Structure 1
Amino acid sequence: MTKTLFERLGGREGISTIVDDTVENHMNNTAVNARFLPLKEQPERLAIIKNHTIDFFVAGSGGPNNYKGKDMVTAHTGMNISPTEYMHVMDDIFMALDKNKIDEDSKKDVLAILWSLKGMMIRK
């Protein structure tokens, strides 16, 4: 039997680690960190964003659907994310996947998910 992407990413615990590593990458990425650094001064808000991200990715990767956040268009409206910023964010995610030794097929599946969301986030 084939494992779900959720299982291949290490379940909720693995996805949580990947999200934590990704946020750290965003904080260190000069192309996007202006959007993320202010969250260091708002730890409660950062925790909410991380938890929504974890729940969203758990549900989208075949795990339990406990996501109660906004849809992607609503969540990103007003942010005016550029295509370049989106690509930097994707790079940060893939650095986190590499750090966590996620296999190539799973990374391709993550890429497909991220690519499917792009139009919901760019220039909203």
Structure 2
Amino acid sequence: MQSLYERLGGSDGITKLVDDIVENHLTNPAVKARFLPLKDDQDHFAKTRQHLINFLASGTGGPEVYEGKEMIPAHRGMNISKAEYLDVIDDIMSALNKHNIDEQTQKDVLAIAYSLKDQIIGQ
């Protein structure tokens, strides 16, 4: 059986997926205000993008190493609401659909995302 990393297309697939997720966040009226400032600093944007790629890749069984912050420190002071969190999840699911990711793999990604919600909401 393939790992979740492999089912998401490995390094290339995850990179494309993250790019679409970020684009969805940047255009989602409910959350774009949180993400648009990243584009003002291209170096910071590139580092954040790479952290997201490495986070998803390493968390799904890939060889990439995530060296970013843990979830609570990364989201501390942001006071993310449950509604914003769900909007971000919708953006992730939309990207998975765009890439024709199968239903079980989508459920597996969703399970990971939901396992992190208490470390993100209200921090």
TM-score (norm 1): 0.96
Cα-to-partner distance string for 1:41-77 (whole Å, 9 max, x where unaligned): 2111111111111111111101114111110111110
Any gaps of 5 or more consecutive residues in structure 1? none
Match of 1:5 in 2: 4
Which runs of structure 1 show a deviation greater than 2 angstroms over 4 or more consecutive aligned residues?
Answer: none
Aligned positions, number: 123
Tell me, yes or no, if structure 1 residue 49 matches structure 2 residue 48. yes
- 1:58 and 2:85 correspond: no
Partner of 1:78: 77
Distance 2:86 2:25 in 1: 12
Q: Which runs of 5+ in 2 are unaligned?
A: none
Write out aligned runs for 1:1-124 (5 A): 2-124=1-123
Q: Please report how far the alpha carbon of residue 111 of structure 1 lies from its aligned counterpart in structure 2 after TM superposition.
A: 0.4
Measured in 2, the distance between the counterparts of 1:93 and 1:53 equals 12
The CA RMSD measured in Å over matched residues stands at: 0.8
Counterpart amino acid of 1:77? R
Normalised TM-score (structure 2):
0.97
- What secondary structure sits across from 1:35 in the alignment? helix
Q: State the identity %.
A: 54
- Amino acid paired to 2:4: L
In structure 1, C-alpha distance between the alignment counterparts of 2:40 and 2:76, rounded to whole Å: 23
